[in-house]
Amino acid sequence: MDFGSVDVRDTCDDVEGAGRATTAGETTEREGTSARDAALGAKETGAVRGQAIQGRRGPATESVRGSATGGARGSASGAVRGSASGVLGSPATGGLRALATEAVHAGRDDLARQGLHAVPIDLSTTYPSYDSRGEAARIDAFATDGAEPEGPPVYGRLGNPTVARFETALARLEGTESAVAFASGMAALSAVLLVRNAMGLRHVVAVRPLYGCSDHLLTAGLLGSEVTWVDPAGIADALRPDTGLVLVESPANPTLAELDLRAIAHACGSVPLLADNTFATPVLQRPAEQGARLVLHSATKYLGGHGDVMAGVVACDEEFAGRLRQVRFATGGVLHPLAGYLLLRGLSTLPVRVRAASANAAELARRLAADPRVARVHYPRLGGAMIAFEIHGDPHEVIAAVRLITPAVSLGSVDTLIQHPASISHRIVDAEDRRHSGVSDRLLRLSVGLEDVEDLWRDLDGALGRG
Annotation marks residue 211 as catalytic: yes
State the catalytic residue, choosing from 157, 345, 367, 435: 157
Q: What is the DSSP letter of 339?
A: H
Tens-of-pLDDT digits for all 467 residues of the chain?
454 433 443 344 343 332 222 223 232 222 333 343 434 343 333 322 322 222 223 333 333 233 334 444 444 433 333 344 466 654 444 568 899 999 999 999 999 999 999 999 999 999 999 999 999 999 999 999 999 888 889 999 999 999 999 999 999 999 999 999 999 999 999 999 999 999 999 999 999 999 999 999 999 999 999 999 999 999 999 999 999 999 999 999 999 999 999 999 999 999 999 999 999 999 999 999 999 999 999 999 999 999 999 999 999 999 999 999 999 999 999 999 999 999 999 999 999 999 999 999 999 999 999 999 999 999 999 999 999 999 999 999 999 999 999 999 999 999 999 999 988 777 778 777 777 877 888 899 999 999 999 999 999 999 999 86
Which of 364, 400, 465 has its CA nearest to residue 36? 364
Annotation marks residue 157 as catalytic: yes
| Predicted local distance difference test score (pLDDT) of residue 5 | 36
State the catalytic residue, choosing from 211, 302, 341, 379: 211
What is the greatest pairwise CA distance in the chain?
Answer: 76
State the catalytic residue, choosing from 2, 13, 14, 276: 276
Using DSSP's 3-state secondary structure scheme, residue 245 falls into strand
User: What is the SS3 string spanning 351-403?
Assistant: HHHHHHHHHHHHHHHHHHHCCCCEEEEECCCCCCCEEEEEECCCHHHHHHHCC
Using DSSP's 3-state secondary structure scheme, residue 257 falls into coil
| Predicted local distance difference test score (pLDDT) of residue 11 | 41
Using DSSP's 3-state secondary structure scheme, residue 337 falls into helix
Annotation marks residue 301 as catalytic: yes
> What's the CA gap between 294 and 315, in Å, rounded?
6
Q: pLDDT (tens digit, 9 = 90+) per residue, 24-44?
A: 323 222 233 334 343 434 333
> What's the CA gap between 279 and 297, in Å, rounded?
8
> What's the CA gap between 425 and 444, in Å, rounded?
11
75 Cβ contact list (under 8 Å, min separation 6): 61, 62, 63, 168, 171, 177, 178, 318, 321
> What's the CA gap between 354 and 293, in Å, rounded?
24
pTM: predicted TM-score of the whole model, two decimal places: 0.84
Which of 138, 156, 136 has its CA nearest to residue 147? 138
How far is CA 294 from each of CA 22, 235, 268, 281, rounded to the nearest angstrom?
40, 17, 13, 14
Per the CB < 8 A criterion, the answer to whether 377 and 388 are in contact is yes
> What's the CA gap between 188 and 467, in Å, rounded?
38
How far is CA 429 from each of CA 79, 227, 297, 411, rounded to the nearest angstrom?
38, 14, 20, 19
Annotation marks residue 276 as catalytic: yes
State the catalytic residue, choosing from 49, 301, 353, 355: 301
